[in-house]
Amino acid sequence: MKILIKNANLISMDSKREKIEEGIDILIEDKLIKKINTDIKENVDKVIDATGKVVMPGLINTHSHVPMSIFRETVDGYITQDWLEQKIWPMEDKLTKNDIYYASLLSFIEMIKTGTTTINDMYFMTEEIIKAAFEAGIRLQTTRTLMDLTGDGDVRIKELEELIKEYSSKDEKITFNIGIHGFYTSNDAYIPKCVELAKKYNLPIHIHFCENSKEVEDIKKGYEVQSPVELIKRYFKGMHIILAHSVKLTQEEIIELAKEDIYVSHCPVSNLKLGCGIAKITNMQENGITVSLGTDGQGSGSNLDLFETMKFTALLQKGIQENPKLLPAYEVLKMATINGAKALGLEDSIGSITEEKIADIIILNLEEVTTKPLNDTFAEIVYNIKGTNVETTIIGGDILMENRKLRKIDEKNIYEECNQVIYRIQN
């Protein structure tokens, strides 16, 4: 299918182009961006008029737990470990494959409607999440959560390897990483087995890291180290590592981490809600660490709206460091797009609107009272745009939402199914 987007205000996130260009046409052929220019003349199947609108790459969420859509607003008043152990894990024990499938579809609806085209997931019953991703048309990097609290760690590794073998070549929208839940839910004998799997399939490591003070202390005691950073160097030397959260890092630890091939997924909303603190992401950037954005699961992050995440990201760093010059809006946009692609090892195919890259594109409607007058487009997107300003979402050249209407999914049915799931497992 050929699609021509006409007369866009283009924010391509391509370092070789201007940051914003007006009156740009974009030709999509099948799944690829074939041409970017003014006044493209081409016979196409569909024309989308983007006059007065912003066209930009789809957003990339680098840390989430996709089926946790059904656990929204269950965390209030709990610290992380208590929330997991007392509330979430007992409910998760009751989940069926069908529950996971519908809860995942609910998250994928939310993504499409708020402009996120790629998500990095860490959960279980992963095959059901993949099936939901196929149905929704979402780009998914996923894993089977690896941990060894009850002696079933080897079974989890086997399950993940079977998924990698089964789905790696089925659809380019499905990719994998090796998702280790955390050092505090694993042990000195188990982590090397996970690393062996990552090396066997040349996949990134994805792990919760230094999210809160208790986790840090548990790691120090459990592994007899002075700093959790020692474990990154011990186990993951030379590997591509996605560290989720990284809130409780000292300046010295940041400097040490920067010597490794690490990418931090910053989840400010979840970290605030769980009382974890605020990650020192500007310090990380100053030391050359690539920072991307995540929402965490909706149980602690509330939603998957990365526009909200962008706003929190910028405001928190300016506020806690009393420096309004930190994190210019365009730099925050990079975190939500091209930096996310780099974190997931997908920068050659997504993250910017570039010829021959995959067409993961969103169109924003700025005709709102909150964006008038339009003085600075980048700042408007970071501070005033919400997911509901996303008018059209295209993934892999497939239009999944146009004029705020989904084209593939029956929303009402999925809402009803998810209501039944949470009612059952809470009672």
DSSP calls for 230-299: HHHHHH-TTS-EEEEE--S--HHHHHHHTTS-EEEEE-HHHHHHTT-----HHHHHHTT-EEEE----HH
By percentage, how much of the chain surpasses pLDDT 70?
100
Cα–Cα dist 349/146, whole Å: 27
427 pLDDT more than 80: no
Sheet holding 116-121, edge to edge: 59-64, 116-121, 139-142, 174-176
Q: CATH number of the domain at 2-56+359-406, out of 3.30.9.10, 3.30.465.10, 2.30.40.10, 3.40.50.20?
A: 2.30.40.10
pLDDT of residue 229: 98
8 A C-beta contact, residue 278 and residue 246: no
* Residue 233 dihedral angles phi and psi, to the nearest 5°: -70, -35
3-state secondary structure of 25: strand
**What CA–CA distances, in Å, run from 304 to 60, 301, 307, 321?**
11, 8, 9, 26
pLDDT of residue 76: 83
Cα torsion through 324, 330, 334, 335, rounded to 10: 30
How much is the average pLDDT of 131-160?
Answer: 96
pLDDT of residue 375: 94
Domain 59-343 falls under CATH 3.30.1360.30: no
107 pLDDT more than 80: yes
pLDDT of residue 129: 98
pLDDT of residue 74: 86
Cα–Cα dist 90/71, whole Å: 12
- Residue environment code for 386-414, b if the CB has 16+ CB neighbours within 10 A, otherwise e: ebebbbbbbbbbbbbbeeeeeeebeeeeb
426 pLDDT more than 90: no
The string of pLDDT tens digits covering residues 333-358 is 999 999 999 999 999 999 999 999 99
402 pLDDT more than 90: yes
The string of pLDDT tens digits covering residues 181-232 is 999 999 999 999 999 999 999 999 999 999 999 999 999 999 999 999 999 9
Cα–Cα dist 68/95, whole Å: 11
Q: Is 231 left (phi over 0), alpha (psi -120 to 50) or beta?
A: alpha
Q: Could you tell me whether strands 116-121 and 174-176 are parallel, antiparallel, or unpaired per DSSP bridges?
A: unpaired
Q: Could you count the other beta carbons within 10 Å of the beta carbon of residue 78? A: 18
Q: Could you count the other beta carbons within 10 Å of the beta carbon of residue 248? A: 20
The string of pLDDT tens digits covering residues 23-71 is 999 999 999 999 999 999 999 999 999 999 999 999 999 999 999 999 9
3-state secondary structure of 33: strand
146 pLDDT more than 90: yes
Cα–Cα dist 349/169, whole Å: 16
160 pLDDT more than 90: yes
The string of pLDDT tens digits covering residues 225-255 is 999 999 999 999 999 999 999 999 999 999 9
pLDDT of residue 276: 95
Cα–Cα dist 64/67, whole Å: 9
How much is the average pLDDT of 398-406?
Answer: 97
How much is the average pLDDT of 103-124?
Answer: 98
pLDDT of residue 381: 98
Nearest to 22 by CA among 49, 54, 46: 54
pLDDT of residue 227: 97
pLDDT of residue 84: 86
8 A C-beta contact, residue 382 and residue 311: yes
Domain regions of the chain by residue span: 2-56+359-406, 59-343
